[in-house]
């Protein structure tokens, strides 16, 4: 079954990045109306309403003898401009997440459409049938409504509800965690890299390498190399690593990182959809026309939240796999010895015989 959010989000992203409308001469020649007049429409009749309420209080012609209703409505109108400015800014901030590099296309596409409207993106103007308007409600809250061809139904956001969501640590559009930064920090903090592998800011240096304690050695303390065939009857040594020991060392740090992510489960879903579920690395994404997404294994926010214990365990397991495959693996694959003589190319058969003989000698066989 088609995931409409993925389809629409990706389509809008591609159209916006293509700049296709700039090459449409009919569109360029047209007079496009991008003025929605959000505040103008909201306050069109408030002057008359305010005057009417003031007059009722002054003349004592209120709903009740204390003029409670009228005074509350006057206060509401007095506060309305400040509420409007803060509300619209809050909406803009929430919608701007759709512009992020690692935006999860499983988010409701209606928010991306709304963001295009608020940022005057070509193709989302009043001329194309879109509209956005603000309403001042009697309870003091305000509503902003987005309408247009791509909306299945109008997108309505209430100021009080949005404020409550944001204050409780929730968002309309889930921001994807910076998995790349988190993984690189894990490499440094876990202690599997040699001390000189990072600078004082925790940034990896070119000479970054696995710490000596995780490199396999023979009984005499020498490095236990793996011999690889490089062709033409030649071979060379590469380091062997104690992967089980590395996993034991990094697991507590991975568990702690996942536990932190679990404090906001919607962020876990975003991380799964953008990185963990599919398993693509940041470097692989950079080489693609568009970032990978979990596709058929993606998690639907409405269906998986709150996360079940099964999904929590699956995420933790896959998070560890992602760390090993996309970050640690580069430090444990085909690494040449630091000892210059051991790194030299040699005759493959002679090298294998010598290695076998050393094993016999070391184990007194």
Q: Which two tokens stand for residue 201?
A: 């800011």
The reported pLDDT for the residue numbered 288 is 44
By three-state DSSP, how is residue 347 classified? strand
The reported pLDDT for the residue numbered 290 is 47
Cα 307 to chain centroid, rounded? 18
Q: Which residues contact 171 (CB under 8 A, 6 or more apart)?
A: 94, 97, 165, 266
Q: How far apart are CA 120 and CA 47, in angstroms?
A: 29
Length of the chain as a residue count = 365
Q: How far apart are CA 241 and CA 232, in angstroms?
A: 27
**How many H-runs (helices) and E-runs (strands) does the chain carry?**
15, 6
Are the C-beta atoms of residues 91 and 144 closer than 8 Å to each other? yes
H or E segment to which residue 197 belongs: none
Q: Average pLDDT of each block of 10 consecutive residues along the chain (365 residues)?
A: 85 87 72 82 88 91 90 92 95 97 95 96 93 93 97 97 94 95 93 92 92 91 91 94 95 95 95 88 50 74 96 96 94 91 92 82 68
Largest CA distance in the chain: 111
Beta strands (DSSP E) in the chain are 131-136, 142-147, 155-158, 226-231, 234-238, 346-347
The reported pLDDT for the residue numbered 221 is 87
The reported pLDDT for the residue numbered 289 is 42
Q: Which residues contact 110 (CB under 8 A, 6 or more apart)?
A: 146, 150, 151, 152, 155
| Helix axes 309-323 and 179-189, enclosed angle (nearest 10) | 70
The reported pLDDT for the residue numbered 65 is 86
Are the C-beta atoms of residues 342 and 222 closer than 8 Å to each other? no
The reported pLDDT for the residue numbered 18 is 82
Q: How far apart are the first and last CA of the chain?
A: 63
**∠80-83-89 over CA atoms, to 5°?**
140
Are the C-beta atoms of residues 194 and 211 closer than 8 Å to each other? yes
The reported pLDDT for the residue numbered 281 is 58
H or E segment to which residue 162 belongs: helix 159-167
Q: Which single residue is written with the structure tokens 């493959």? A: 348
Go through 227-252 and write b for each residue having 16 or more CB atoms within 10 A of its CB, e for each that does not. eeeeeeeebbbbbebbeeebeebbee
The reported pLDDT for the residue numbered 364 is 66
H or E segment to which residue 160 belongs: helix 159-167
Are the C-beta atoms of residues 70 and 62 closer than 8 Å to each other? yes
Q: How far apart are CA 182 and CA 257, in angstroms?
A: 8
């Amino acid at each position: 079954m088609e995931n409409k959010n993925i389809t629409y989000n990706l389509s809008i992203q591609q159209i916006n990045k293509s700049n296709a409308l700039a090459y449409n001469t009919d569109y360029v020649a047209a007079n496009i109306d991008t003025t929605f007049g959000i505040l103008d429409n909201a306050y069109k009749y408030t002057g008359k309403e305010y005057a009417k309420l003031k007059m009722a209080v002054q003349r004592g012609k209120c709903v009740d003898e204390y003029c409670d209703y009228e005074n509350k409505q006057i206060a509401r109108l007095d506060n309305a401009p400040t509420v409007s400015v803060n509300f619209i800014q809050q909406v803009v901030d929430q919608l701007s997440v759709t512009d992020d590099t690692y935006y999860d296309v499983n988010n409701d596409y209606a928010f991306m459409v709304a963001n295009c409207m608020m940022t005057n993106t070509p193709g989302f103007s009043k001329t194309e049938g879109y509209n956005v308007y603000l309403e001042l409600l009697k309870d003091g809250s305000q509503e902003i409504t987005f309408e247009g061809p791509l909306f299945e139904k109008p997108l309505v956001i209430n100021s009080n509800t949005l404020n409550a969501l944001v204050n409780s640590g929730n968002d309309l559009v889930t921001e994807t965690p910076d998995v790349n930064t988190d993984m690189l920090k894990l490499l440094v903090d876990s202690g599997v890299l040699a001390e000189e592998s990072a600078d004082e800011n925790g940034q990896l240096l070119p000479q970054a390498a696995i710490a000596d304690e995780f490199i396999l050695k023979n009984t005499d303390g020498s490095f236990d190399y793996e011999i690889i065939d490089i062709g033409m009857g030649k071979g060379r040594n590469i380091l062997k690593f104690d992967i089980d020991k590395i996993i034991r060392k990094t697991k507590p740090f991975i568990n702690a990182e996942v536990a932190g992510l679990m404090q906001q489960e919607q962020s876990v879903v975003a991380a799964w959809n953008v990185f963990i579920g599919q398993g693509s690395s940041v470097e692989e994404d950079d080489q693609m026309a568009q970032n990978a997404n979990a596709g058929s294994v993606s998690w639907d926010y409405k269906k998986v939240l709150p996360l079940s214990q099964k999904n929590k365990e699956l995420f933790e397991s896959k998070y560890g796999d992602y760390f090993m495959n996309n970050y640690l693996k580069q430090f444990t694959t085909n690494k040449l010895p630091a000892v210059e003589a051991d790194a030299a190319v040699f005759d493959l058969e002679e090298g294998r015989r010598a290695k076998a003989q050393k094993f016999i000698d070391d184990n007194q066989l």
